[in-house]
Amino acid sequence: MNQPYNKFQEVSNKTIRTAILMLVLLLSSGTLFYWAHEQYPLIDAFFMTIITISTVGFGMIHPLSDAGKLFTSGLIMFSLGSLAWVGSNLARFVFDGELKNYLKTYRVDKKIMKLKDHTIIVGYGRNGEQAAMELRDFGVDFVIIDKRETVITRIREDENLLYIRGDATHEETLFQAQIEHAKALIATTPNDADNVFVVLTARSINPGLKIISRASEMESITKLRRAGATNVIMPERIGGQRMAKLVTQPDVVEFLEYILLQQSKDVSIEEISCTLMASFFVNKPLKVLYSRNKSGINIIGIKISGAKYVFNPAPELTLSRGDQLFVLGSPAQISEFRNLLENQ
């Protein structure tokens, strides 16, 4: 479970155990004193102890000696002090935000347990936060893993974010994020060694997982791929390339960014798998699909059987169910085209 949840349980359990221990100590010492020193019958000794520590205001059952009066006074003060200690601890949980954090983390853990086909984001720095924003825009479920308390505090401010405070290099943290049911993992930590370990651990647990990892050094790319990363990204390298392209081809960069990064999603580039393609189009040339396509969509590329990319494909290119189509169009056009491809 999440660390705030565990921490609250640990502290609250300690408080409860201490309170029970104090109660037992008060009952046993009070009963023993009244029975042995004041010569009360055992049941009267127990009853006298109960009414004393509860301060209900009943009178004395039997007259007390001076020592008995002093002991009773001390018993009352000690019981009141114990009650104040327990109450102050419970109040601290409420007013310091511990209870609120506990309840939120408890709800988050329950939601995480139900996740399937989600994405795990390891690290919530600038890259991790940007990845989370993009996934949220596309309606993809995700859970964030970070071990820094300051970062978790910031994440808690957004009621819609699912998070785990923990170390993703540990298997139990990944299992808590339901990695066996996830479809993708994004490792964004600035430490390449941590990313390699996360990728290696994630791949061993879920062999079919799509893993995208950040790399800070060129030599780490090969290590990450060997560890099992599907794709490796170097943010600094991409940033430098983008800056250079803005000098040499500024309009091209702005055009592509408008398509890929726009908020309105009036037009977008989508990948459509041919796995569910209607048998009518299987092993037929692309021009057959073109002839029936009335959606107005543009097919700008094809990935043939998961290996070769073809840009601006020729009409004579044959389609198979192992292909991926890259199309450009509005959401309505893409939906119409997908329906044609799968239900011809």
Report the CATH number that the domain containing residue 44 is assigned in CATH: 1.10.287.70
Tens-place pLDDT, residues 123-163: 999 999 999 998 998 889 999 999 998 998 899 888 889 99
Averaged pLDDT of the chain: 85
pLDDT on residue 207: 93
Residue 332's CATH number: 3.30.70.1450
DSSP 283: T
Residue 151's CATH number: 3.40.50.720
DSSP 187: E
Q: Which of 99, 128, 151 is the last residue of a domain?
A: 99
Residue 185 lies in a domain: yes
Which structural domain, as residue segments, surrounds residue 134? 115-238
* Residue 46 vs residues 36, 40, 41, 58, 61: alpha-carbon distances, Å: 12, 9, 9, 14, 11
Backbone angles phi, psi at 160, to 5 degrees: -95, -5
Tens-place pLDDT, residues 1-60: 555 545 555 555 676 777 788 888 888 998 999 898 888 999 988 988 888 887 776 777
Q: Does 228 share its domain with 125?
A: yes
Count how many domains the chain has.
3
pLDDT reading at 168 higher than 80: yes
Residue 243 lies in a domain: no
Tens-place pLDDT, residues 272-310: 889 898 889 889 899 888 888 888 888 999 998 867 889
Q: Does 231 share its domain with 285?
A: no
Backbone angles phi, psi at 267, to 5 degrees: -145, 145
pLDDT on residue 132: 94
DSSP 107: H
**CA distance linking residue 215 with residue 213, whole number of Å:** 7
* Residue 145 vs residues 113, 126, 158, 162, 205: alpha-carbon distances, Å: 14, 14, 15, 9, 17
pLDDT reading at 342 higher than 90: no
Tens-place pLDDT, residues 185-200: 999 999 999 999 999 9
**212 pLDDT band (50/70/90 cuts)?**
very high
* Residue 298 vs residues 64, 72, 123, 267, 311: alpha-carbon distances, Å: 98, 90, 37, 11, 12
Q: Does 128 share its domain with 207?
A: yes
pLDDT on residue 100: 66
Q: Does 232 share its domain with 309?
A: no
**Nearest Cα residue to 184 out of 228, 139, 138, 119:** 119
